Amino acid sequence: MSGLPPAVAQAIEWYARRSSGAFDAPAQSRFEQWLRADPSHQDAWRSLSHQLERTLVPLAGQQGSRQALNSVDHSRRRMLRGALAVGAIGLGTPLLTLRGGPLHERWGADLRTTRAERRRFSLEDGSSLLLNARSAVDLLFSASQRSVQLLQGAVLAEVHSDPARPFVLQCAFGEAWLEGGRCLLSVQAGTAQLWALDGALELRTPGTRQRLASGQGLAFDGQAWQPIARGYIDERAWARGLLEVHDQALGQVIEHLRPYHPGLLHVSARAAALRISGVFSLDNSHQALAALKDVLPLQVVSYLGVWTRVDLA
């Protein structure tokens, strides 16, 4: 893996060893020593495992996958190619893509988008959904209700009025009920934003109901829905291809750029704590990173087009 930073190459090596099924206590001790030896080791490990485990962990119990990971002659480069191949095979396993299954939101959802893709979907009732990049929803339409469940990412719903069937936009933190108009729901890193863009809606959570007038928004802070804070990321902007941030940590900005950036995009813990305000292009993530570099003391380095690292200059 020439061209990769040493910490990245070492992280890949450790990932291959830990996935082999023959990782004993002495090996675990050496791994922990490696993690403590340098902050860059921890950064590389967190980023690599976060990206790969979403694909590999659900496949680890499959016989074919375990045999591949147990092969002792896998080089580091072959390990990564093999992991991607195992992931592709896993896509054909129905159990993994059933509703509620570990890969459903990525490959089994009713509607979904890929990297750097915003796409509008027309529904049978005349409504439409605009999905942000790497977003997924499930649909459940019946004679009495129209339900759209946001599994990941963000969705803008343009709802055709149907008095006999209310439209319900759901996420893990609550439900937005409306008869018509436009609303937007976004779920990112354990938080959410809900906006009534055109027309009123009712937010329903266990034991509470709250009305939102046109133009109003609420955010879920991890415990309850609250008014939009002064420092926030405006989730309405992605529908226009923009990332609008107000006094936000750089780590949050990078998290919103990841669905549009090719390969792995990593930010160090030191750089992630920097604060930034501005408007950036989502459709050109390289340009957005360059703009961030112009106003913050950053260095942005890309390796082989598959790994981009953002750190303090």
Number of domains in the chain: 3
Residue at which a domain ends, from 44, 66, 96: 96
What's the pLDDT score for residue 88?
Answer: 31
What's the pLDDT score for residue 9?
Answer: 72
First to last CA, the chain: 25
Averages of pLDDT over runs of 10 residues in the chain (313 residues) are 64 72 79 86 73 47 41 42 36 39 57 95 96 95 91 96 92 93 91 94 92 95 87 93 95 95 92 96 95 95 86 94
Answer yes or no: are the C-beta atoms of 125 and 141 closer than 8 Å: yes
Q: Is the domain of 143 the same as that of 245? A: no
Bridge partners of 76, per DSSP, are none
What's the pLDDT score for residue 108?
Answer: 63
Cβ contacts of 173-178, under 8 Å, gap ≥ 24: 173/205, 173/220, 173/225, 174/203, 174/204, 174/205, 174/220, 174/225, 175/203, 175/204, 175/205, 176/201, 176/202, 176/203, 176/204, 177/201, 177/202, 177/203, 177/204, 178/202
Kindly provide the b/e burial profile for residues 122-154, where b requires at least 16 CB atoms within 10 angstroms of the residue's own CB: ebeeebebbbbbbbbbbeeeeeeebbbbbbbbb
In a domain? residue 1: no
Answer yes or no: are the C-beta atoms of 91 and 97 closer than 8 Å: yes
Structural domain of 71: 6-96
Q: Is the domain of 274 the same as that of 214? A: no
Q: CATH number of the domain that 261 lies in?
A: 3.55.50.30
In a domain? residue 102: no
Q: Is the domain of 224 the same as that of 252? A: no
Answer yes or no: are the C-beta atoms of 170 and 150 closer than 8 Å: yes
Answer yes or no: are the C-beta atoms of 97 and 107 closer than 8 Å: yes
Q: What is the 3-state secondary structure (H, E, C) of 158-225?
A: EECCCCCCCEEEEECCEEEEECCEEEEEEEECCEEEEEEEECCEEEEECCEEEEECCCCEEEECCCCE
Q: List phi, psi (to 5°) of 296.
A: -125, 155
> Which two three-digit tokens encode residue 277?
């305000």
Residue at which a domain ends, from 207, 228, 249: 228
**64 vs 52: CA distance, rounded Å:** 18
What's the pLDDT score for residue 301?
Answer: 92
Strands of the sheet with 298-303, listed across from one edge: 264-267, 307-312, 298-303
Q: Is the domain of 124 the same as that of 159? A: yes
Q: Under DSSP, is residue 304 helix (H, G, I), strand (E, B) or coil?
A: coil
In a domain? residue 234: no
> Is this structure's pTM higher than 0.75?
no
